[in-house]
């Protein structure tokens, strides 16, 4: 250890060599054990030291056998090169038998002397040179520093060295990194440098494992310097780890073939990987031991996705089943992205709260450059008198008090990017005609002027309504409907998503509760009807995490209290029944709102909060549906 290296070992040598006593607590145990072994080999402290090398043929065989390890040494050396400049330290790599297989000349005046002593093929074992840092580190499998007269042979007392063992991904010791220089004074940073160098080699080995997902493990979110790195396969199988990571993930040295992400952490691998893909920093994750750590994906394995989850790296869309809780829907996302690239409009259909805007955002990210604009307009939230100028813009002088020079509309602002028209079913008929002209001509004309401006954008529309039925009733233009529905993507309600359990796992982590969900809590969530869909689920989980100790998983009672209705909202229909329902979206939405009104005793504000929608949106739905108004009045009068 470093503090031993700072001691004057004169007393230790007097006890050991003069009196034949063991100087315990005066020097590092690893050094003392080496002295004992050297004495058992009948070596004399005063004898000459010969740095002997293998024959050229034997050295060539050693280098060939360790070619991969030597390449990793070179990669780490490029990273740590500046640390050795003017330091006087001579870095070498030995194999597991203490034979030097790679080195780099130091840049000080000691360079020639050290290079002769530490040439390729030189035997640095205790048998050859007595006690030295590299053979001690290999013997005890931990970093060791040996300074001056801590070396067994007196003639080595002019040098100091620090060494750290290097382990392969599977945990087998492959060799050691050793730093040597002529002694001037003990170098307090040498041992740390040797450890960092060895960790860099281990990291480089993991980074070259084909298809591996590299995770950095640390105790805090902001620790970007942790050397604890583990490699996992696409199925979550542990492929290898650095020695620092082994202290986190495998403290009892279980065979690596028996370890997987799910056996080490409480969370499932697919969910955790999906969480990391959506986070810019490390995410909290609880070990099976109960300890909370932070993990971060430091690889770029866009192709390393689970074979059980539909993925399209080619189309750039996050398409794991866990992302949306439904593998069939997720598999359709890349097709929607392809449609946008070919100039087709995409129509998103689904109940309120299912995540239409989230899907639109992902499609935009997958089909446009990062700097391209994404313009979103909620057609139901803008007054009918203002929506025309909002969409198309206006010329100077069109309105009293209007902006000098006029104003571009949102369609113009979307040029080169994506225009997202939410609640397209609420767009007034006259504006539908103008929008159709823009889509056909790819030109937009501001109100109050005749100049047409060229525009080019991807169009994504969304609605909770049945536009086909509205078209048949004359409430929506047929020509516009067929234009915007070139590719229609139905987003299923949360209650019918086949993989909603994975989605709940993902959502609770996004809410910052690293302990996750208990099995009972997950059962409650999966059986609940979710009239407010994903928005409601997020609100419920946020409330539940406020009431729960962050050190334990959310339980059944936590969820029921957050739902604030006991089991009254529970419904256990199989997923297949919900998926095969022949009800229209309007009918399903009306049923969900009616149920929410009943649970909130007709209170509109509370109902809107429960559903995860705005009060104005709920009131607009109720104005257009007499049955909903009746349900509100009935529940108020109970």
pLDDT mean for each 10 residues of the chain (638 residues): 54 91 90 94 88 76 88 87 77 93 65 73 92 95 92 90 93 93 74 91 88 89 84 89 89 86 88 78 86 84 35 42 68 89 94 91 89 90 80 81 79 94 92 92 89 93 94 94 94 89 85 82 90 90 84 88 59 39 56 77 77 74 81 70
Taking the C-alpha atoms of residue 198 and residue 151, their distance in angstroms, rounded to an integer, is 22
Domain count, the chain: 5
Residues 185, 222, single domain; the answer is no
Q: Which CATH number does the domain housing residue 12 bear?
A: 3.30.450.40
Q: Which residue has the tokens 């009892």?
A: 252
pLDDT value of residue 184:
67
* 305 lies in some domain: no
Cα dihedral 534/537/541/542 (nearest 10): 70
> Is 492 in contact with 579 (CB distance < 8 Å)?
yes
Place of tokens 């780099």: 104
Q: Residue 303: inside a domain, yes or no?
A: no
pLDDT value at position 402?
Answer: 67
Enclosing domain of residue 543? 494-577
pTM for the model: 0.50
Assess whether 144 and 246 both reside in one domain: no
Cα first-last separation, the chain = 77
E strands within 358-471?
374-378, 393-394, 407-408, 418-422, 443-445, 452-454, 458-463
H or E element that contains 137:
helix 133-140
Whether residues 515 and 366 share a domain: the answer is no
* Domain assignment of residue 199, yes or no: no
544 lies in the same domain as 604: no
Last residue within a domain, chosen from 297, 327, 343: 297
Q: DSSP class of residue 317? A: B
> Does 26 share its domain with 134?
yes
Is 483 within the bounds of a domain?
yes
Q: Could you tell me which residues come within 8 angstroms of residue 289 by beta carbon, excluding any fewer than 6 positions away?
A: none
Buried b (16+ CB within 10 A) or exposed e, 345-383: bbbbbbbbbbbbeebbbbbbbbbbeeebbbbbbbbbebe
407: left (phi over 0), alpha (psi -120 to 50) or beta: beta
Note whether residue 343 is domain-resident. Answer: yes
C-alpha to C-alpha distance for 125 and 73, rounded to whole angstroms? 20
Q: What is the pLDDT of residue 508?
A: 87
Both 95 and 149 in one domain: the answer is yes
Q: Rounded to an integer, what distance in angstroms lies between the CA atom of residue 521 and that of residue 528?
A: 11
Helix axes of 626-636 and 585-599: crossing angle, nearest 10 degrees: 10
Rounded alpha-carbon distances, angstroms, from residue 261 to 87, 230, 270: 41, 10, 10
Query: In this structure, what CATH number is given to the domain that contains residue 533?
Result: 1.10.8.60
Are both 118 and 267 inside the same structural domain? no
Phi-psi region of 285 (alpha: psi -120 to 50; beta: other; left: phi over 0): beta
Spatial separation of the C-alpha atoms in residues 245 and 251, rounded to whole Å = 9
Domain-located, residue 435:
yes
Residue-level pLDDT at 89: 84
Question: What are the φ and ψ backbone dihedral angles of 534, each rounded to 5 degrees?
Answer: -65, -35
């Amino acid at each position: 250890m470093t503090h031993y290296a700072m001691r004057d070992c004169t007393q230790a040598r007097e006890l050991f060599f003069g009196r034949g006593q063991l100087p315990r607590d005066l020097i590092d145990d690893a050094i003392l054990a080496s002295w004992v072994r050297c004495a058992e080999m009948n070596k004399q402290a005063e004898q000459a030291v010969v740095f002997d090398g293998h024959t050229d043929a034997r050295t060539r065989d050693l280098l060939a056998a360790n070619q991969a390890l030597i390449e990793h040494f070179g990669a780490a050396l490029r990273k740590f090169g500046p640390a050795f400049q003017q330091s006087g330290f001579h870095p070498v790599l030995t194999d597991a038998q203490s034979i030097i297989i790679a080195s780099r000349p130091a840049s000080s005046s000691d360079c020639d002397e050290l290079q002769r002593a530490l040439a390729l093929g030189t035997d640095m074992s205790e048998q050859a040179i007595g006690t030295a840092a590299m053979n001690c580190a290999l013997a005890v499998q931990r970093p060791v520093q040996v300074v001056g007269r801590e070396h067994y042979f007196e003639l080595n007392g002019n040098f100091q060295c620090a060494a750290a063992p290097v382990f392969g991904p599977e945990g087998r010791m492959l060799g050691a990194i050793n730093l040597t220089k002529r002694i001037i004074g003990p170098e307090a940073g040498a041992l740390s440098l040797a450890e960092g160098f060895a960790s860099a080699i281990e990291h480089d080995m993991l980074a070259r494992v084909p298809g591996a997902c590299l995770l950095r493990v640390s105790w805090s979110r902001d620790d970007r310097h942790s050397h604890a790195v583990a490699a996992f396969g696409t199925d979550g199988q542990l492929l290898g780890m650095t020695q620092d990571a082994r202290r986190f993930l495998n403290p009892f040295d279980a065979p690596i073939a028996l370890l997987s992400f799910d056996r080490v952490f409480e969370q499932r691998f697919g969910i955790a990987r999906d969480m990391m893909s959506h986070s810019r920093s490390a995410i909290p994750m609880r070990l099976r031991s109960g300890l909370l750590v932070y993990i971060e994906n430091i690889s770029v394995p866009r192709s390393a996705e689970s074979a059980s989850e539909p993925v399209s790296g080619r189309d750039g869309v996050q398409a794991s089943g866990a992302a949306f809780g439904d593998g069939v829907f997720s598999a359709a996302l890349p097709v929607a992205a392809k449609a946008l690239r070919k100039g087709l409009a995409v129509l998103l259909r689904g109940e309120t709260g299912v995540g239409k805007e989230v899907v639109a955002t992902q499609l935009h990210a997958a089909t446009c450059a990062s700097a391209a604009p994404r313009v979103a307009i909620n057609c139901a939230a803008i007054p009918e008198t203002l929506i025309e100028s909002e969409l198309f813009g206006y010329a100077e002088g069109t309105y009293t008090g209007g902006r000098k020079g006029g104003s571009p509309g949102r369609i113009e602002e979307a040029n080169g990017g994506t225009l997202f028209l939410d609640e397209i079913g609420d767009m007034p008929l006259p504006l539908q005609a103008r929008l159709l002209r823009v889509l056909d001509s790819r030109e937009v004309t501001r109100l109050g002027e005749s100049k047409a401006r060229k525009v080019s954008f991807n169009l994504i529309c969304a609605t909770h309504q049945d536009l086909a039925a509205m078209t048949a009733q004359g409430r929506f233009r047929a020509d516009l409907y067929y234009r915007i529905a070139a590719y229609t993507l139905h987003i299923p309600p949360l209650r019918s998503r086949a993989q909603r359990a994975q989605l709940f796992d993902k959502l609770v982590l996004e809410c910052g509760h690293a302990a996750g969900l208990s099995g009972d809590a997950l059962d409650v969530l999966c059986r609940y009807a979710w009239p407010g869909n994903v928005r409601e689920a997020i609100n419920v989980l946020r409330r539940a995490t406020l009431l729960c100790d962050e050190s334990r998983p959310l339980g059944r009672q936590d969820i029921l209290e957050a739902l604030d209705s006991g089991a009254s909202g529970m419904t256990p229909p199989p997923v297949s029944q919900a998926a095969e329902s022949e009800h229209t979206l309007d009918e399903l939405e009306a049923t969900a709102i009616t149920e929410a009104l009943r649970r909130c005793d007709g209170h509109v504000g509370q109902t809107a909060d429960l559903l995860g929608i705005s009060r104005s949106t709920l009131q607009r739905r109720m104005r257009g549906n007499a049955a909903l108004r009746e349900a509100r009045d009935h529940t108020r009068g109970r």
